[in-house]
């Protein structure tokens, strides 16, 4: 089975990571690196995708940044874990909807490992818990190498993600696990960013078909 190198990046500005993903995608296409999984958190920003631009969506009261992933607007900020798989998908996996489905299954499996029952909504991509969207997904592909990925709201500042109408979903439908009362895992341990990262690593092989190597601490300025 293929391997995937796991990089833990801490907190990185979105625009820095966006460029880093493009650089890593080029290296993956050229075969200079293997499949790579980035775990990162961003300072608060609302990314505005092509759909939001077409729909003339206006975001007020939040810092914003354009993005070239699919979809509309997505909140990023403290208490949210973002996972960016820079992956060269095999021929049998070369379906955008199929890759999105695998990422949805991955988020659901990781949350279940923490003791939380999540599920899909056929009308809206992502992962849902108790009628609220917890995980958002947006991707961009070049030569079937993906960048961007998934974000999971764990313990976000009150009323920030809830205050946005995201991807055609009314305000209040996006929230975090802590707002829904999920503050500990099934063993009573704190349900924080580190815990969810560990769960994503544990379920990576099953969901993405790649054996995780790492994680190792890494920063974008280390890219050569």
Q: What is the CATH number of the domain that holds 95?
A: 3.30.930.10
Residue 2 has pLDDT above 80, yes or no: yes
pLDDT of residue 166: 67
The 8-class DSSP code of residue 40 comes to: E
Asked if residues 79 and 157 have their Cβ atoms less than 8 Å apart, the reply is: yes
Query: Residue 72 pLDDT > 90, yes or no?
Result: no
Beginning with the edge strand found earlier in the chain, give each strand of the sheet holding 45-48 in spatial order: 64-66, 45-48, 73-76
pLDDT in tens, 163-186: 887 656 788 789 999 999 999 999
Using a pLDDT cut of 70, give the percent of the chain over it.
Answer: 97
- Return d(Cα 12, Cα 96) in angstroms, integer: 27
- C-alpha 214/C-alpha 221 separation (Å) is 19
What span, in angstroms and rounded, lies between the C-alpha atoms of 85 and 100? 12
pLDDT higher than threshold 80 for residue 65: yes
Strands (E), the chain: 3-11, 36-41, 45-48, 64-66, 73-76, 80-86, 119-121, 124-129, 132-142, 145-153, 211-217
- In this prediction, residues 96-108 reach a mean pLDDT of 96
Average pLDDT over residues 59-73: 89
CA-to-CA separations, 220 to 19, 60, 152, 176, 223, in angstroms, rounded: 9, 30, 21, 27, 6
Q: Which residue segment(s) compose the domain that 144 sits in?
A: 3-222
pLDDT category, 71, cuts 50, 70, 90? confident
- Rounded Cα gap, residues 156 and 12, in angstroms: 17
From 9, 114, 166, 167, active-site residue: 167
Q: Measure CA 219 to chain center.
A: 18
Over residues 37-52, mean pLDDT: 92
Query: Can you tell me the mean pLDDT for 207-222?
Result: 96
Q: How many domains does the chain have?
A: 1
Beta bridge partners of 158: none
**Which pLDDT tens digit goes with each residue over 137-148?**
999 999 999 999
Which residue, among 147, 94, 101, 99, has the nearest Cα to 121 in the 3D structure?
101
Q: Say how many CA atoms lie within 13 Å of 81 toward its Cβ.
A: 23
Under 8 Å CB-to-CB from 193, ≥6 apart: which residues?
A: 41, 79, 80, 81, 154, 155
pLDDT confidence band for 107 (50 / 70 / 90): very high
pLDDT of residue 91: 93
State the chain's mean pLDDT as an integer.
93
50 CB neighbour count, 10 Å cutoff? 14
Of 9, 36, 4, 5, the C-alpha closest to 23 is 36
Query: What predicted TM-score, i.e. pTM, was given to this entire model?
Result: 0.96
167 noted as active-site residue: yes
pLDDT recorded at residue 167: 59
β-bridge pairing 36-41 and 80-86: antiparallel
């Amino acid at each position: 089975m293929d391997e995937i190198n796991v990089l833990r990046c801490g907190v990185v500005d979105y625009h820095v990571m966006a460029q880093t993903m493009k650089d890593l995608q080029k290296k993956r296409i050229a075969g200079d690196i293997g499949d790579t999984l980035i775990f990162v958190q961003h300072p608060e920003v609302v990314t505005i995708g092509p759909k939001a631009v077409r729909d003339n969506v206006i975001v007020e009261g939040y810092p914003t940044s354009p993005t070239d992933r699919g979809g509309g607007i997505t909140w990023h900020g403290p208490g949210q874990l973002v996972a960016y798989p820079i992956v060269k998908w095999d021929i049998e996996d070369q379906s955008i909807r199929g890759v999105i489905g695998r990422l949805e299954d991955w988020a659901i499996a990781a949350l279940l490992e923490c003791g939380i029952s999540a599920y899909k909504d056929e009308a809206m991509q992502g992962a849902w818990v108790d009628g609220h969207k917890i995980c958002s997904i947006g991707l961009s592909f070049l030569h079937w190498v993906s960048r961007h990925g998934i974000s999971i709201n764990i313990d976000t500042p009150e009323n920030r993600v809830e205050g946005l109408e995201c991807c055609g979903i009314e305000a209040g439908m996006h929230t975090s696990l802590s707002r829904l009362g999920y503050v500990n895992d099934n063993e009573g341990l704190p349900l924080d960013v580190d815990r969810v990262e560990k769960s994503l690593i544990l379920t990576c092989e099953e969901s993405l078909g790649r054996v995780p190597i790492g994680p190792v601490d890494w920063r974008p300025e280390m890219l050569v």
